[in-house]
Amino acid sequence: MSETFEDDFEIIDDIDDPEIIALTELGTTLIQAILEKEPISNVQDLIDAGAPLWYQDDEGTSALHAAAYVENEQLVKLLIEEGAVWNTGTADATRWIPSLTKKRV
């Protein structure tokens, strides 16, 4: 294996596949809906429409990250129940989902 990711893999920035474009748009819409604190029913509609729960935007934010950022525990649980990946970092592996739990004293 080479020293950098780019040495081993070709990074493709120009993707014209309609399915990839549709999934990217759905994933982006899902993250935006969560960050804008839209009702959970709207988020569920996007999930039911096929929004990919594994998708991360250009900043590495996933739907699960977004739900944690807005501190919506109910939404975090829904996303995990629906299959969101919870045990991974972001695409750049430098940001993590903040904890929604508080230490009991």
Does the pTM surpass 0.75? The reply is no
% of the chain with per-residue pLDDT over 90: 58
8-46: buried (b, 16+ CB within 10 Å) or exposed (e) per residue? Answer: eeeeeeeeeeeeeeebeebbeebbebbeeeeeeeebeeb
Farthest-apart Cα atoms in the chain, separation: 54
- What fold characterizes domain 15-82? 1.25.40
Q: 81: which 2 tokens?
A: 């129940």
Q: Closest Cα partner for 74 from 99, 104, 100?
A: 100
CB atoms < 10 A from the CB of 77, how many?
Answer: 12
Q: Low-confidence residues of the chain, pLDDT below 50?
A: 91-105
